[in-house]
Chain A
Amino acid sequence: MKALPGTFDSRAAVALADPSLQKALKNFKPLFVAKRAAAVAELDGFEQLRETAAAIKDAVLSELDVWLERYAAKVESLGGHVHFASDAAEAREIIREICRKADAKTICKGKSMVSEEIGLNEVLEDDGYKVVETDLGEYIIQLAKEPPSHIIAPAIHKTREQVADLFEQNHPGRPREDSVAGLVNEARHALRERFFQSDVGITGGNFLIAETGTSIIVTNEGNGDLTQTLSRAHVVTSGIERVIPTLDDLSVFLRLLARSATGQDTECYTTLSSGPKRPGDPDGPEEYHVVLVDNGRSKMLAGRFSQMLRCIRCGACMNHCPVYGAVGGHAYGWVYPGPMGSILTPLFNGLAENYDLPNACTLNGRCQSVCPVKIPLTDLIRTMRNEQIKAGLMPASQRRMMAAWGWVARQPGLYRAFEKLGSKMLRLRAGRSGSLSSLPGAGAWTRVRDLPAPSGPTFIDQWKAKGGQS
């Protein structure tokens, strides 16, 4: 997927002014947060599982080459093909070649963030294939010609009415459906035939198991299973970091994934696929390919962001992020939104081009407190800001402001005098209401909320009054 035009600021402004999006965001957030909390509370030892999962990932990443070779050898021993792609272009080429050789016409797709990352649909459509997204959320946004706005619920920004409009336009001859049940049913009918026509089925791979040469998909709809079972060739797209050693390790991750992603104890379907159809099998794909995509991950492995490679793409960080909750996924401009995207997007697409992503974060830390693999997201966002400053990317006006603030902060007497003066002026301006509805220089802030005026003595004064040292 190509990066969306504009900056985070400009895209966020559009998002804040979009009433349908705001309605959708209001609905989704409490639901995901409460469901996760309930599912986590129900399980003994969730914390221990998080620790274990993080440790498994760190151990695998420290010998990733060994585990990948083991995994690939096992897949090949089962008659599968493993392809390594250095970058997005190479990954696209490999998949185009598989489709050409399979003489494909229809390509069904299960949800795959890697395929979004490498911009696969565009090239396959340009080649003339009928490419059909089969996850309902992905199908909706494919019809709307929009990118996903959440990694688990790609159409979270769409209201029911908008989905009904889209289906009405795209399913000629069918009466308009307005209920959720009616819309789901309509999609079921529209996609049924596609599954049976599919020549190549492309899915993601949540995990890859070295012990057995197995790829895993986890879904609720069953679309991924129909995609990979009914197509003549099954192509798994996966990042190189997704390999884990054994089936027993998989259990650790599965216990974390569904609870963190959707607040379920397990997703409806967990499918472990090992190689192509075997002699005597009544169904299943004749070819089985795994495309392992590097696309900057090995570089990540070398640097200060290697912990990001623990990510299992559960979406919990964005579900708990107040910034994501206010502006939705499109404001982040690319495939990966929310806190994980604020780190991944600059790493994949450039620190300079995505300057504002890590800087839009409030560093409140809720994301890292829920991340199932304990990625220190706020620390990494801080590190990212650091890297941006070191690379000289901070705008001159901000740099001057920070330099001035830094100078004043190093003169305690002066700093306190400014602080007192500032808080007094704000109090005076606020009057009896105690808050300011407008403030010169902070119009963007006060346009959507009031600024509370400082209510009393400064922290230092209070500290002194209580007998503390200054």
Chain B
Amino acid sequence: MSRETVLHSIRRAISERGVRGRFELPARPPAPTYGEGRLERFTERLVTHACSWEAIDTLEQLPDRVMAWLEGKGLPPRFAVAPPLMALPWPEIAERHCDRAGIDESVAVSLAFGGIAESGSLAMYSGPQSPITHNYVPEFHLVALFADDIRDSQEGIWEKVRATGAMPRALNLIAGPSRTGDVEQTIQLGAHGPRQVHVMVVHAKPSTS
């Protein structure tokens, strides 16, 4: 069996070189911390990565702000939405669904699991509450994120993931809209994924979540 063959030849190589147990895993340098400046660092990195953002006080304000954003872009009020956001007070004209994104999906509205101040990344935790396709298929991705869920570094997100008790099937870290430099090293946004990512930082976390 190949597994045994491969492992056997690895074992033979390790014993030929006599290295087993000779190298210890090193201590890792500490991850960066930002203290009071965490939110500022996060939003500054968002902008560096070509995201736009705005602050909102509560999640209940999200529908109005999403509708205003869509109107500002001249987009129809039709979008995929993460299940936890479905029941917010959306206006009647908001045509929304929370299934996986289809090929013509133009806009998705998601709720992030966390944010990383170090890199301005959004962390999306896949599952019934957060379809992965919403992050990649639409041209416009609007993401709500509780300010409380922003961590200094990736390490903070790993800790937050461990606290849930399991790795999600997919943990997507997203830093800005999709881009490519494959034609003459000229950076072009909107390669395969969203062309624009707009983040809404929610300051008051509901006490139930």
Q: Size band of the A side of the interface?
A: 35 or more
Chain B residue, CB-CB nearest to A196: B103
**What are the interface flags for A140-157 relative to B under an 8 Å C-beta threshold, 1 for contact and 0 otherwise?**
100000000000011110
A contact residues around B178 at 8 Å (CB):
220-222, 268-269
**A245 at the binding interface (Cβ < 8 Å):** yes
Chain A residue, CB-CB nearest to B119: A266
**B89 at the binding interface (Cβ < 8 Å):** no
Contact assessment for A283 and B132 in the assembled complex, using a CB-CB cutoff below 8 Å: yes
B contact residues around A63 at 8 Å (CB):
14, 20-21
Binding-face segment, A23-31, A373-381, A390-398: A23-31
A contact residues around B186 at 8 Å (CB):
180
**What are the interface flags for B6-24 relative to A under an 8 Å C-beta threshold, 1 for contact and 0 otherwise?**
1101111110110111111
Contact assessment for B121 and A180 in the assembled complex, using a CB-CB cutoff below 8 Å: no
**B135 at the binding interface (Cβ < 8 Å):** yes
Chain B residue, CB-CB nearest to A140: B182
A225 to B141, CA, bound (A): 15
**B137 at the binding interface (Cβ < 8 Å):** yes
Chain A residue, CB-CB nearest to B162: A247
A contact residues around B2 at 8 Å (CB):
83-86, 90
Binding-face segment, A298-306, A424-432, A458-466: A298-306
**A294 at the binding interface (Cβ < 8 Å):** yes
Contact assessment for A136 and B26 in the assembled complex, using a CB-CB cutoff below 8 Å: no
**A181 at the binding interface (Cβ < 8 Å):** yes
**B183 at the binding interface (Cβ < 8 Å):** yes
Q: How many Å from the CB of B48 to the closest CB on chain A?
A: 8
A contact residues around B98 at 8 Å (CB):
282
Q: Could you say which of A64, A86, A154, A223 contacts B192, with CB atoms under 8 Å apart? A: A223
**What are the interface flags for B30-64 relative to A under an 8 Å C-beta threshold, 1 for contact and 0 otherwise?**
01100000000000010011000000000000000
B contact residues around A268 at 8 Å (CB):
49, 174-179, 193
Q: How many Å from the CB of A387 to the closest CB on chain B?
A: 16
**B128 at the binding interface (Cβ < 8 Å):** yes
Binding-face segment, B70-78, B142-150, B164-172, B199-207: B164-172
Q: Could you say which of A60, A72, A277 contacts B169, with CB atoms under 8 Å apart? A: A277
A58 to B19, CA, bound (A): 9
**A169 at the binding interface (Cβ < 8 Å):** no
Contact assessment for B184 and A159 in the assembled complex, using a CB-CB cutoff below 8 Å: yes
Q: Could you say which of B170, B185, B191 contacts A229, with CB atoms under 8 Å apart? A: B170
Binding-face segment, A49-57, A117-125, A326-334, A354-362: A49-57
Known contacts A180-B183, A221-B178, A226-B192: A272-B128 contact under CB 8 Å: no
B contact residues around A299 at 8 Å (CB):
9, 13
Binding-face segment, A183-191, A340-348, A404-412, A443-451: A183-191
**B100 at the binding interface (Cβ < 8 Å):** yes
A contact residues around B49 at 8 Å (CB):
268
Q: Could you say which of B137, B155, B169 contacts A275, with CB atoms under 8 Å apart? A: B169
Contact assessment for B132 and A136 in the assembled complex, using a CB-CB cutoff below 8 Å: no
**B93 at the binding interface (Cβ < 8 Å):** no
Q: Could you say which of B5, B26, B180 contacts A52, with CB atoms under 8 Å apart? A: B26
**B136 at the binding interface (Cβ < 8 Å):** yes
Contact assessment for A65 and B14 in the assembled complex, using a CB-CB cutoff below 8 Å: yes
A222 to B17, CA, bound (A): 41
Contact assessment for A272 and B175 in the assembled complex, using a CB-CB cutoff below 8 Å: no
**B126 at the binding interface (Cβ < 8 Å):** yes
A137 to B54, CA, bound (A): 34
Chain B residue, CB-CB nearest to A224: B192
Binding-face segment, A8-16, A200-208, A249-257, A414-422: A249-257
Contact assessment for B136 and A251 in the assembled complex, using a CB-CB cutoff below 8 Å: no
A contact residues around B127 at 8 Å (CB):
278, 280-281
A contact residues around B103 at 8 Å (CB):
192-193, 196
A24 to B182, CA, bound (A): 12
A contact residues around B121 at 8 Å (CB):
266, 270
**B115 at the binding interface (Cβ < 8 Å):** no
Q: How many Å from the CB of A446 to the closest CB on chain B?
A: 32
Chain B residue, CB-CB nearest to A58: B23
Most-contacted residue by chain A among B3, B11, B12, B167 (CB, 10 A):
B167
Contact assessment for B132 and A84 in the assembled complex, using a CB-CB cutoff below 8 Å: no
**A62 at the binding interface (Cβ < 8 Å):** yes
Known contacts A55-B26, A59-B26, A220-B180: A230-B10 contact under CB 8 Å: no
Contact assessment for A48 and B182 in the assembled complex, using a CB-CB cutoff below 8 Å: no
Q: How many Å from the CB of B169 to the closest CB on chain A?
A: 5
Contact assessment for A153 and B185 in the assembled complex, using a CB-CB cutoff below 8 Å: yes
A134 to B13, CA, bound (A): 37
Known contacts A188-B191, A251-B31: A27-B133 contact under CB 8 Å: no
**B173 at the binding interface (Cβ < 8 Å):** yes
Contact assessment for B23 and A240 in the assembled complex, using a CB-CB cutoff below 8 Å: no
**A168 at the binding interface (Cβ < 8 Å):** no
B contact residues around A183 at 8 Å (CB):
183
Q: How many Å from the CB of A297 to the closest CB on chain B?
A: 9
Q: Could you say which of A52, A136, A195, A301 contacts B10, with CB atoms under 8 Å apart? A: A301
Q: Which 9 A-B pairs have the closest CB atoms?
A: A222-B193, A302-B13, A221-B191, A301-B13, A137-B182, A55-B26, A298-B9, A136-B182, A270-B173
Instruction: Supply 25 A–B pairs (Cβ within 8 Å), ascending by A.
Output: A59-B23, A61-B19, A64-B10, A72-B3, A85-B2, A136-B182, A137-B180, A153-B182, A163-B183, A180-B183, A184-B183, A184-B188, A184-B190, A185-B190, A188-B190, A188-B192, A192-B103, A222-B178, A229-B132, A229-B133, A254-B154, A266-B175, A271-B172, A298-B13, A302-B16
A-B contacts besides A223-B191, A247-B158, 9 pairs, CB < 8 Å = A27-B184, A28-B185, A52-B27, A134-B192, A155-B183, A159-B184, A163-B183, A247-B161, A269-B193
